[in-house]
C-alpha cells in the first residue's frame, strides 16, 4: 500500500489543477447541481488495505456503475440463460443509442449500455418481490454497508427527462424482450442509476470482482470464479460505452464509468480503485478519472497486460 499511496498522492496533485476540457452531464438536470471541482480517489486492496485522497468520502450519483451490481444479481438468478436476453459484445455506439436494436431484434449488445441495463432491470423485476428494496439490500450485503441509498431527487429528475430510456424500453418491449410493465421497469432503472456512493464505498463494494475468495459478511459467495471472470471480461470490453477500447488501451483494467463522473476499475487478485471527477469527455467518461487511472496503472506497472 505504501507504494500505491505515494504514487496516488503524486498523480492526484499533478492532475488536480490541470485544465479539464470535459463537461458536467446536464441531460439529467439534477446531476448538473454538483460542483465540478470535486476530485477524489480511493483504492482498496484484496487484503483490505485502503487509501483515499481528495473528495474520496463524498457521496455522488454512481449512475451507470450500478449496472455492474444489477448484472451481478441478474447473473446469480439466471446464470448462462441471461445471455439469451442480452449480448456480450461491445456496441461501438453511444450508451443511449437505439440504432442496433432494430437489426438485433430487440436484444441489446451488452448489459452496460442503457438498453442492456433496462433488460437486466426487467429480468430482476421478474425475480424480486420488492425490487428497489431488494436490490438495495443486495448492494448493502455486497459492501457490508447499511448506509447505501438511492437519491430520490436524482431518480425523479431522470424520470422527468428520460425520453430516450423510455423510447429504448418501449422499443425493446415491441420485440418481446421486456416482460414487465414498461413504467415499472423504467422506475426501477432510474432508481438503480440514482444509487449514491463515495469513492471509498465504490472501491469496497467492487472487491467481489477482484478477490476469488470473496464472501459477504453474511457468508454468501457472490459469483463463482467463472462468473466473476465473465463479468470482468464484459467490463473490459464494454464498460466505457464506445470508448471501451480506448480505456483498455490507456488504462488496461476492467472497469465501469457513469455519467455522474465516477469510474471503478478492478485489478483481479490485487485491488479495486474508484475515481470521481464530474466533468465528462465527449464519450461520457470522466476526463480526469481516465487520465488519473492511465497514469496510475503506468506508474505502478499494474495493468492486467
Site residues for ligand GLU per CB under 6 A:
63-64, 95-96, 114, 158, 165, 193, 258-259, 284
Nearer to ligand GLU, 259 or 266 (CB): 259
CB of 218 to ligand GLU, least distance (A): 29
CB of 206 to ligand GLU, least distance (A): 16
DSSP state, residue 63 = G
**Could you tell me which residues are beta bridge partners of residue 304?**
none
Cell for 286? 470522466
Q: Give the whole-angstrom CA distance, residue 186 versus residue 133.
A: 15
Nearer to ligand GLU, 206 or 295 (CB): 206
CB of 280 to ligand GLU, least distance (A): 9
Cell for 16? 488536480
CB of 22 to ligand GLU, least distance (A): 14
Look at residue 52 and give its three-state secondary structure.
strand
- Please report, for residues 7, 50, 224, 267, 304, the alpha-carbon distance to residue 3 in angstroms, rounded to integers and kept in the order given: 7, 12, 31, 16, 18
Nearer to ligand GLU, 158 or 201 (CB): 158
- Residue of minimal Cβ distance to ligand GLU: 64
Look at residue 158 and give its three-state secondary structure.
helix
Nearer to ligand GLU, 4 or 60 (CB): 60
CB of 63 to ligand GLU, least distance (A): 3
Nearer to ligand GLU, 95 or 276 (CB): 95
Nearer to ligand GLU, 155 or 266 (CB): 155
Residue ranges in the chain assigned as alpha helix (H)? 2-16, 66-78, 99-103, 114-127, 131-143, 152-161, 163-174, 182-193, 199-205, 225-238, 244-250, 287-299
Cell for 109? 449488445
CB of 10 to ligand GLU, least distance (A): 29
CB of 214 to ligand GLU, least distance (A): 25
Say which residue the cell 444479481 belongs to.
73
Nearer to ligand GLU, 256 or 270 (CB): 256
Number of helices (H), then strands (E), belonging to the chain: the values are 12, 10
Crossing angle of helices 66-78 and 182-193, rounded to 10°? 130
Q: Give the whole-angstrom CA distance, residue 222 versus residue 203.
A: 16
Question: Are 60 and 198 spatial neighbours (Cβ–Cβ below 8 Å)?
Answer: yes
Amino acid at each position: 500500500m505504501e507504494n500505491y499511496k505515494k504514487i496516488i498522492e503524486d498523480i492526484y496533485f499533478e492532475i488536480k489543477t490541470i485544465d479539464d476540457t470535459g463537461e458536467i452531464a446536464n441531460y439529467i438536470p439534477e446531476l448538473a447541481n454538483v460542483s465540478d471541482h470535486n476530485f477524489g480517489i480511493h483504492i482498496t486492496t484484496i487484503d483490505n488495505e485502503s487509501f483515499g485522497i481528495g473528495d474520496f468520502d463524498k457521496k455522488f450519483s454512481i449512475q451507470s456503475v450500478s449496472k455492474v451490481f444489477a448484472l451481478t444479481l441478474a447473473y446469480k438468478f439466471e446464470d448462462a440463460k441471461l445471455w439469451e436476453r442480452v449480448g456480450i459484445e461491445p456496441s461501438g455506439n453511444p450508451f443511449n443509442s437505439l440504432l442496433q436494436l432494430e437489426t438485433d431484434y430487440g436484444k441489446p449488445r451488452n448489459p452496460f449500455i442503457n438498453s442492456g441495463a433496462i433488460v437486466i432491470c426487467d429480468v430482476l423485476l421478474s425475480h424480486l418481490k420488492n425490487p428497489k428494496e431488494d436490490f438495495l439490500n443486495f448492494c448493502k450485503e455486497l459492501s457490508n454497508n447499511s448506509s447505501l441509498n438511492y437519491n430520490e431527487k436524482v431518480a425523479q429528475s431522470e424520470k422527468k427527462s428520460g425520453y430516450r430510456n423510455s423510447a429504448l424500453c418501449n422499443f425493446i418491449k415491441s420485440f418481446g424482450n421486456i416482460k414487465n410493465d414498461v413504467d415499472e421497469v423504467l422506475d426501477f432503472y432510474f432508481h438503480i442509476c440514482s444509487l449514491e456512493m463515495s469513492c471509498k464505498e465504490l472501491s469496497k463494494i467492487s472487491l467481489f470482482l477482484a478477490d476469488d475468495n470473496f464472501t459477504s459478511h453474511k457468508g454468501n459467495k457472490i459469483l463463482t470464479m467463472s462468473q466473476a471472470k465473465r463479468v470482468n471480461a464484459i467490463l473490459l470490453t464494454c464498460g466505457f460505452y464506445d470508448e471501451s477500447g480506448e480505456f483498455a488501451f490507456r488504462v488496461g483494467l476492467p472497469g465501469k464509468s457513469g455519467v455522474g463522473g465516477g469510474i471503478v476499475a478492478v485489478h483481479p487478485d490485487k485491488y479495486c480503485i474508484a475515481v470521481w471527477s464530474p466533468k465528462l469527455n465527449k464519450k461520457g467518461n470522466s476526463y480526469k478519472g481516465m487520465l488519473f487511472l492511465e497514469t496510475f496503472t503506468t506508474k505502478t506497472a499494474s495493468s492486467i497486460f
